[in-house]
Structure 1
Amino acid sequence: MSRPVSTYRVQLTPAFGFAQVGEIAGYLRDLGVSHVYLSPILQATPGSLHGYDVTDHSRIREEFGGAKGFREMAELLAAQDLGIILDIVPNHMNTTNAQFWSVLAEGPASPYARWFDIDWDGGKVALPVLGDDVEPVVDGDVLRYHEHVFPHPGHYRLVDWRQGPGYRRFFDVSSLIGLRVEDPEVLFATHEVIFWLLDEGLVDGLRVDHPDGLADPRGYLERLRARSGGAWTVVEKILIGEERLPEDWACEGTTGYEVLNRINGLFVDPAGEAPLVELFTRLTGQPADFRPVMAEAKREVIELFFGAEIRRLARAAGCAPAAVAELLAAMPVYRAYMAPGEPPPPESVEIVERAAAECSPAVQPFVQQVLYGPADVITRFQQTCGPVMAKGVEDTALYRWFPLSCLNEVGGDPDLFGVPVADFHAFCRELRPHTMTTLSTHDTKRSEDVRARLSVLSELPGEWAQAVSEWSAAVSFDPRLDYLAWQNLMAAWPISAERFADYLLKAAREAKTAISWIKPDQGYEQRLRDFAAAAVKLPVGEFTERIDAFAMANSLGAKLVQLMMPGVPDVYQGNEQTDFSLVDPDNRRPVTFGRSPMSRWDAAKLAVTTQALRLRRRLDPAAPYTPILADGEAAEHAIAFARGDDPPQAVAVATRLPVRLARRAQAEEVQAGEREMCLGWGGTTLTLPTGTWRELLTGGLYTGRIPLAHLLARYPVALLERHDL
């Protein structure tokens, strides 16, 4: 079992299964990755494009090639010295499965009743499917209601879809039912295939989906580590602000959203905050502060989606539902890390009490239950915090408050403009050496290159405001949506009217200000599509072309930093070259692997990615991280660090805030770009560690103190490897 040095995420679909992954093995090996990181492989809902809706844990998905196809793929990958990382889903499965059918038919007497986290209040499980006056129809031994089919007779009750289910679910998705993997029998049954793949050496590591949904993440990870033989494991844990992963979780780290947001901040100019927030508030009518928008959104989603969860918690705690809802809305993180039967950690107490301080005195009895009450209350409260954060912030507030939408990422703070270089260095020195790092995932709101373009706006707020004013005068639709539309149209350019409209439709539904997933409006949606069709005909691409030299610098800089900083870097499929994708399903479109570069940016990004990944295979993942500070008047525009023992083996150098750097050269026209960036360095220098260094992108040899104008004359980044070892 080998530990990954780097990974490449592949989204499996019925059209791109194991055989197709095997076909790109040589390409991935040449790219330099050590492991292929696969989306979920177990049997899922037919046609599923993501695989998180597992229906049968005992089978590898037939649409991908089944067990035979997996083994053949593994052999092809192994022949290219590539291992496999699996994405696993312990928290939930789709409700259309044999085990839940048994529970619906037999109730608590079913041998599978222990599998699911069911509220047996009233003796029957509530199924929220009723939505009109149509009556369910008995058809032999089944009950039919529209597209739904249930066993008949059965030990369940159909209720209005707004009521919520009688079981824990994934967020607000009633078709995904929560699993009780804290039960050893359920753990083994749902991980049987995963364990034999590990036992046979066909898999080297695991990515654990949504650990916050589990009753006991710490205990689950301990059992997983013991049974997996210590396989490399990372968790999809969203950390907010300065929050850190608990030290007692048996895993290597997270999937990297906290890394993504800090890298992103390196390339955002804090000076852009005031003018961009002013532009946003003037155009949208939203407040200048994100916090009240977030608080309101969380309260709304609790009322809309989580009534069943609130009632169940209130009943268990003996508290008023209003108090439960109020404390949940105030929680600042996805989980407070309390374990039943143990004194709550001081940091957990501080988190809960900080939330309670924002609430009315009526929440205090519930606070005591959450901190010191029965196990069911402590556990269920934490399992509910994550869905409220996800739906309230990720899927609502971030679509309402967006002065600079590259900041509106999972786990990000849209009102945090910029990350100082010193803070980033301090963060890197604390990172776990084998945690995952990333820039794009199947769940990011925008791809890394879309964000690279948007970051430039923080340096050009005046020019951006003028462009938006001109476009808005030509075409307008909904003030609450238009400004988000202009940002994403510019940053994802070129984009078809259909793709753009699909994105805006999702954004409008998530914002829930005019329409939502449960409140459609055909007239609004048609006007939205008309707006998208008209907007793509405007000269938005001219603005994009003007800033692309700077966006390319941001893109290459972010990529190099991510690939060379501590951790195991992941490349999301297709992002070794430029990718201008928006939120899913846009970012899960088919990828042309190994395509020829279509632009200078493409070629440069592919070169940076390839050289960095190949260098990482020659570098110890736990190699020390040492900041290198530039010297001179433009020093703030450089981020540089060394990796390796004394003497280090590698040095990475990237340009940041490229517009201001170009303006240092007193360029008459901003779009002149690259030449002025180079001139902007003036006499600023960087002193390399002792020895001779080869720059891997250009082949040049360097030693000692180097002018950055010389080192970065061809590319806005440099990757150097010690040449005299």
Structure 2
Amino acid sequence: MSERLTGPISTYRIQLTPDFGFAEVAALAPYLRELGVSHVYLSPILQAVPESRHGYDVTDHSRIRAEFGGIEGLRALSAALAEHGLGIVVDIVPNHMTVPVPESGNAPLWSVLKDGQASPYAPWFDIEWVGGKVNMPVLGDDTEPVADGGVLRYHDHEFPLPDTHYRLVDWRRGPGYRRFFDVSSLIGLRVEDPEVFDATHRLILELVAEGVVDGLRVDHPDGLAEPRGYLARLRAASGVWTVAEKILVGSERLPADWDCDGTTGYDVLNRITRLFVDPAGAGPLLELFVKHTGMPHDYATVVGQSKREVLDLFFAAEVDRLHAVVGSDRETLVELLAAMPVYRAYAVPGEPVPAESAAIVEAAGRAAAARLPEGAPVAEVVDRVLRGPAEAVTRFQQTCGPVMAKGVEDTALYRWYPLACLNEVGGEPDHFDGAVEGFHAFAREMSPTSMTTLSTHDTKRSEDVRARLAVLSELPEEWAAAVGEWSSKVSFDPVLDYLAWQNLMAAWPIGPDRFFDYLFKAAREAKTSISWAAPDPAYEAGIRDFVTRAIDGCGASVAEFAARIEPYARSNSLSQKLLQLMLPGVPDLYWGNEITDFSLVDPDNRRPVDFALRRRMLAGQAGTPWDEAKLLVTTQALNLRRRLDPAAPYVPLEAGEHAVAFARGEQAVTVVTRLPAGLARRGGWGSETVTLPPGAWRDLLTGAEHTGRIPLAHLLSAHPVALLERE
């Protein structure tokens, strides 16, 4: 199939829910067109659990979700958007389906539970058949399953009778199938099988061929048996712009042989965030963190400990299954998994191992050997997972990602947080090195087709929360004094309190229910006192009491601190937004973030958006100064992107320590402020200048005209950012 278009210019992510479906999105079409985006980017649209608020729990690949309006509602949405020059990008979920409650809600799975390996759907699922049965982890108390009307019931669970093809086991045991991370309610699909690929993608590909869908976002490709092969098959079948939710760590880059247009942008998000963090604050903030929490100075120590803990707590079944095909020593295998520094190393069975892949796994082997008894068969295990039986190579690759996700994203990042804006998906919280030169080097290599982002449905904190937190790196003494004051009045658990103070300030104003929900989740993810699997009602009551006392007793002081740093946070907010929108790539705007949004991790960041407010502001009604400025920056940049050549090169411009400036070819210039508190301390811009490329330039934010060498004090007098277009 030939490629229909080169891809979106920009996208606007919408979180569809049973309360906000296709008709509600269609009503936004005039607003989104005026905002400046080219495509609406929809969360998953296939039929999921009816009450699902996210849609990743797919139950039926042959239907568009009824709660959103079904396929006719989607076609109507496509037509409504097309009237305003807008297209649709959709989020697809190839890695898994849901195990619903009752289980009869997933017809292919029900067939497998009923008929076992004889089911025509048995090839769909990545199941470990033991004695012809699959373990289903649902049992949790002394209640016995009961036969009722031809089915076996256990609380709300439902299974076919006779129970020949499945085995009910304790809910804490790993299931007899590959799952999404440690979520037993999501069962892995075998899309490497061409028939499974065709069956699970038929409807989406029909919508692409029909012109309803213009682009695809692929959820969690690292969970698949062979991501490269999957993406090649998808591209051949669809021919449209496609990005992959690939989490890159450090200097890691997207595999060059993946047939897609780029990532969903976490790599860019983390680079931008670090640009606004003052490395001089690293030492003081680390000491403050250790003082308040008692945690180690070394992040790597916490990561290693966290990964070994989750391997023991959650992944025994996965390790057992992997060990059965790798052989050798189980402890060595566990240590090798814990030492892997990335989500996947991309060895493919039957192919020569890429040198980079071998280097990653061999380095992990050396790290593992340092913790193992002398003589442990490390080299043997490394060789088996790189060059051994096909299942050993594939299973190791598929296990690394869940261990990284649960050990780092969902454990270590909740334990080690000297500056929580760095604790993002794919982030490195011990790296404060946001040098301008390094940023320019990164930006010069950015793809014009890869997605860029600042906030998503999965970020730990919204972009404006991170903008406030970044200021703390410039004011560590003032922050230490404030936290000292608050902690002297209200305390609960040292390993949680300091995270609470950072997020209470950065998300302010926030009510007790939202703040409790965040802290409760953070405590369960950290797993230092409670976890999802080990609740403690007394500890949970303690969190609730802490939240009440913190807001009642310290809320006024927290509000005062947030107000005091607002000029700097606002500068960071506008600067990072303009950078993201003007860098090479396809900028994605997470719904609502065209003005300020102070959301924390999901489900907080999936709350309804007040579009009526945003429409009024876009029509000219006044809002807060910060909101007005962010909306101005967003609309002007997005609309300029419609006029800008996507391939326009990134050209750095010299602008000193406190500014980042670059041109996009000969069409546009972006100038933003960084480290604004330090800039204020030194007395402002002084005599610093930026030299514009030849020609006459107009600032789209102020209307002012400029040429040649411009004092930064003049250029940035109205806003901390400037967006210039050649006249």
2:265 pairs with 1:291: no
2:489 pairs with 1:485: no
- Cross-structure match for 2:592: 574
2:203 pairs with 1:193: yes
Per-residue CA deviations over 1:443-489 (Å, capped at 9, x if unaligned) read 00000000000000000000000000000111111101000000000
Per-residue CA deviations over 1:659-687 (Å, capped at 9, x if unaligned) read 0100011xxxxxxxxxxxxxx10000000
SS of 1:254's equivalent in the other structure is coil
- Cross-structure match for 1:14: 18
- Tell me which amino acid in the other structure corresponds to 2:276: F
Among 229, 244, 266, the alignment partner of 1:257 is 266
- Cross-structure match for 2:660: 639
Q: Distance in 2 between matches of 1:208 and 1:426?
A: 28
Aligned-pair CA distance for 1:158? 0.9
Among 329, 332, 345, the alignment partner of 1:323 is 332
Aligned-pair CA distance for 1:144? 0.9
Matches within 5 A, 1:430-579: 430-537=445-552, 538=554, 539-579=557-597
Q: Distance in 2 between matches of 1:654 and 1:717?
A: 4
Among 672, 675, 678, the alignment partner of 1:660 is 678
Q: Compare 696-705 and 138-147 and name the one that shifted more.
A: 138-147
Aligned-pair CA distance for 1:162? 2.1
- Tell me which amino acid in the other structure corresponds to 2:520: L
Matches within 5 A, 1:87-126: 87-96=91-100, 97-126=106-135
SS of 1:489's equivalent in the other structure is helix
Q: Distance in 2 between matches of 1:158 and 1:661?
A: 63
- Cross-structure match for 2:85: 81
- Cross-structure match for 1:133: 142
SS of 1:652's equivalent in the other structure is strand
Q: Distance in 1 between matches of 2:283 and 2:144?
A: 57
TM-score, normalising length: structure 1: 0.96
Find runs of 4+ consecutive structure 1 residues off by over 4 angstroms.
none
Aligned-pair CA distance for 1:536? 1.4
Asked whether the 8 Å contact 2:328–2:377 carries over to 1, the reply is no
Q: Distance in 2 between matches of 1:171 and 1:29?
A: 38
Per-residue CA deviations over 1:200-242 (Å, capped at 9, x if unaligned) read 01111000000000001100100100000x2000000000000
Asked whether the 8 Å contact 1:339–1:379 carries over to 2, the reply is yes
Among 589, 612, 624, the alignment partner of 2:649 is 624
- Tell me which amino acid in the other structure corresponds to 1:484: L
Q: Distance in 2 between matches of 1:169 and 1:330?
A: 22
Aligned-pair CA distance for 1:291? 0.4
Q: Distance in 1 between matches of 2:160 and 2:50?
A: 21
- Tell me which amino acid in the other structure corresponds to 2:540: E
- Cross-structure match for 1:182: 192
Q: Distance in 2 between matches of 1:17 and 1:438?
A: 23
SS of 2:131's equivalent in the other structure is helix
Per-residue CA deviations over 1:84-119 (Å, capped at 9, x if unaligned) read 000000000002311111111111111110000000
Aligned-pair CA distance for 1:594? 4.9
Q: Distance in 1 between matches of 2:563 and 2:367?
A: 46
Per-residue CA deviations over 1:142-180 (Å, capped at 9, x if unaligned) read 111122111111311111222210100000011100000
SS of 1:218's equivalent in the other structure is helix
CA change 1:130–1:92 in 2 (3 A) is same
SS of 1:690's equivalent in the other structure is coil
2:320 pairs with 1:311: yes
Name the Cα RMSD after superposition. 0.8
- Cross-structure match for 1:365: 380
- Cross-structure match for 1:718: 722
- Cross-structure match for 2:394: 379
Matches within 5 A, 1:557-706: 557-595=575-613, 596=617, 598-630=623-655, 635-644=656-665, 648-665=666-683, 680-706=684-710
Asked whether the 8 Å contact 1:560–1:612 carries over to 2, the reply is yes
Per-residue CA deviations over 1:577-606 (Å, capped at 9, x if unaligned) read 000000000000000125135310000000
Per-residue CA deviations over 1:274-316 (Å, capped at 9, x if unaligned) read 0000000011000111000010000000101011110001001
| Ranges in structure 2 where 5+ consecutive residues have no aligned partner | 101-105
2:60 pairs with 1:60: no
- Tell me which amino acid in the other structure corresponds to 1:542: E
SS of 1:651's equivalent in the other structure is strand
How many equivalent residue pairs? 701
- Cross-structure match for 1:676: none
Q: Distance in 1 between matches of 2:157 and 2:336?
A: 36
- Cross-structure match for 2:103: none
SS of 2:498's equivalent in the other structure is helix
- Tell me which amino acid in the other structure corresponds to 1:190: T
- Tell me which amino acid in the other structure corresponds to 2:707: T
- Cross-structure match for 1:675: none
Per-residue CA deviations over 1:629-669 (Å, capped at 9, x if unaligned) read 12xxxx1001000002xxx100000000000100011xxxx
Q: Compare 533-542 and 454-463 and name the one that shifted more.
A: 533-542
Per-residue CA deviations over 1:500-559 (Å, capped at 9, x if unaligned) read 011000000000011111111111111111111111121210000000000000000000
- Tell me which amino acid in the other structure corresponds to 1:196: E
Q: Distance in 2 between matches of 1:205 and 1:427?
A: 26
- Cross-structure match for 1:677: none
SS of 1:128's equivalent in the other structure is strand
Q: Distance in 2 between matches of 1:147 and 1:325?
A: 35
- Tell me which amino acid in the other structure corresponds to 1:608: V
Q: Compare 1-10 and 560-569 and name the one that shifted more.
A: 1-10
Among 160, 182, 185, the alignment partner of 1:172 is 182
Asked whether the 8 Å contact 1:27–1:594 carries over to 2, the reply is no
Q: Compare 316-325 and 402-411 and name the one that shifted more.
A: 316-325
Asked whether the 8 Å contact 2:523–2:531 carries over to 1, the reply is yes
Asked whether the 8 Å contact 1:400–1:511 carries over to 2, the reply is yes
Asked whether the 8 Å contact 1:267–1:418 carries over to 2, the reply is no
- Tell me which amino acid in the other structure corresponds to 1:643: R
Among 212, 221, 226, the alignment partner of 2:231 is 221
Asked whether the 8 Å contact 1:326–1:363 carries over to 2, the reply is no
- Tell me which amino acid in the other structure corresponds to 2:681: R
- Cross-structure match for 1:671: none
Q: Distance in 1 between matches of 2:170 and 2:19?
A: 37
SS of 2:722's equivalent in the other structure is strand
Aligned-pair CA distance for 1:138? 1.1
Among 422, 425, 429, the alignment partner of 1:407 is 422
- Cross-structure match for 1:275: 284
- Tell me which amino acid in the other structure corresponds to 1:560: L
